[in-house]
Amino acid sequence: MKHYTVISAAVVAVGVVMAILMTDTATSNAQTGNTIATAYSVSVVTAQKQNINENFSLVGTIAAYNDVVILSETSGRVVKVHAEVGEYKPAGSVLVEVDDELKEAAFKAASTAYEKAKKDLERYEALYKEGSIAEAQIEQARWNFQNTEAQFIVARRQYRDTKITTPISGIVTARPVNIGTMVQGAPQPTVVANIVDISKLKVKVNVAENDVFKLKVGDKVEVTTDVYPGVTFEGRVATIAAKGDDAHTYPVEVILNNSAKHPLKAGMFGRVSFKPNETQQRIVIPRESIVGGVRDAKVFIVENNIAKLRSIVVGREIGTNVEVLSGISAGDVVVVNGQNNLKDNVPVSVRN
């Protein structure tokens, strides 16, 4: 009887051990299966350095090289108008004439007094040299001449101001006065006309801080427009701002000659192409790999089958790629597909 009891106990012990082993195996398989189920499938590329041409282009609005508002420097009634909107006027041309009757009379009187004082001074200086008059008399003559000369200059200027001229050559874009209009001078002068010079044009663009140091005044640029597809206008960098704005961009002004064959007008859009002729190695990644916007760009990189979220600073777009200024290194494995469902430090399965 004892023999059978021992055998039964042994059988029970073996059964218990096998049950434990089977339970451990099942648990291990379940854990393995759970790990595989939570690994996200992604596609990746390796971040690499490429030789990037430093050329870049920006869009700005074309403006007149010179845009002048003509103000009245005299008061009175407009009696003649010599300018129409759209008309070209050379520098010095009279645009508007104001009633000059009183100012002409004042000018003539001042001119007569000036000539008399001038002759009196010449006569008194001759007499003084001869010793015929006292020093006080010659001083009085000199003072009188200086006083009448000042009055003459003022009267002459006031008379000339009745004929309002343009200081630049250009096209009349506005003329808000007509014959009979009352105009006035300072302190609230009347606007008489607006003249724009479009023989030359300027384009102002805002250049990013990482590009502005590649430029210098005098650099040649190319300007293109949608108005004349395939036509390129040559220009040059005229000014580069010493101070940037809140967006860390620097205003740069480009000057170009207008074309008789393909005339441009102020207000058109122009694309300015800068060509510093520099080539540098930059890290580039596909644009589609970026999570979020370019101002707060992030990407996932894969390390030991774990996704790591990294903040990056991006530069220019180069085709379908973007330049990476900081945040990752060449050789990093970057997720390009499947990143929208990822979180930092989750397991991934690379399918490519």
pLDDT in tens, 338-351: 998 899 999 999 98
Q: Which two tokens stand for residue 46?
A: 């390796």
Instruction: Work out the mean pLDDT of the chain and round it to a whole number.
Output: 88
Spatial contact of 293 and 322, defined as CB atoms under 8 Å apart: no
Measured between alpha carbons, how far is 338 from 203 in angstroms, rounded to an integer?
Answer: 43
pLDDT tens track for 34-83: 444 488 999 999 999 988 777 889 999 999 999 999 999 999 999 999 99
Q: What is the pLDDT of residues 222-274, one digit of tens each?
A: 999 999 999 999 999 999 999 999 888 999 999 999 999 999 999 999 999 99
Instruction: Tell me whether strands 269-274 and 279-286 are parallel, antiparallel or unpaired.
Output: unpaired
What is the set of domains in the chain, with CATH numbers? 40-52+280-350 (2.40.420.20), 56-64+198-279 (2.40.30.170), 101-161 (1.10.287.470)
Q: Are 335 and 42 in contact (CB under 8 A)?
A: yes
Pairing of strands 40-46, 348-350: parallel
Confidence of residue 18 (pLDDT cuts 50, 70, 90): very low
Q: What is the pLDDT of residues 318-332, one digit of tens each?
A: 888 998 989 999 999
Higher per-residue pLDDT: 213 or 173: 173
Interatomic CA distance for residues 224 and 253, integer angstroms: 15
List, in order, residues 6 or more apart from 318 with CB less than 8 Å away: 52, 284
Give the model's pLDDT for residue 6.
36
Res. 11: pLDDT tops 80:
no
> pTM higher than 0.75 for the full model?
no
Distances (CA, A) of 33 to 37, 248, 279: 6, 52, 51
The yes-or-no verdict on residue 16 having pLDDT over 90 is no
Quick: pLDDT tens for 117-152. 999 999 999 999 998 899 999 999 999 999 999 999
| Span 83-115, pLDDT tens digits | 999 999 999 999 999 999 999 999 999 999 999
- pLDDT above 60 for 17: no
Q: Which amino acid is at 131?
A: G
By residue count, the chain amounts to 352
Higher pLDDT, 26 or 240: 240
Helix or strand holding residue 145 (H, E): helix 135-160
Q: Is the pLDDT of residue 3 over 80?
A: no
Would the pLDDT of 22 be above 50? no
Q: Is 25 a residue whose pLDDT tops 90?
A: no
Nearest to 282 by CA among 244, 319, 326, 249: 326
What was the pLDDT predicted at 185? 95
Tell me the average pLDDT across 290-314: 91
Q: What is the pLDDT of residues 186-210, one digit of tens each?
A: 999 999 999 999 999 999 999 998 8
Predicted local distance difference test score (pLDDT) of residue 278: 67
What is the predicted pLDDT for the residue at 348?
93
Question: What pLDDT score does 38 carry?
Answer: 81
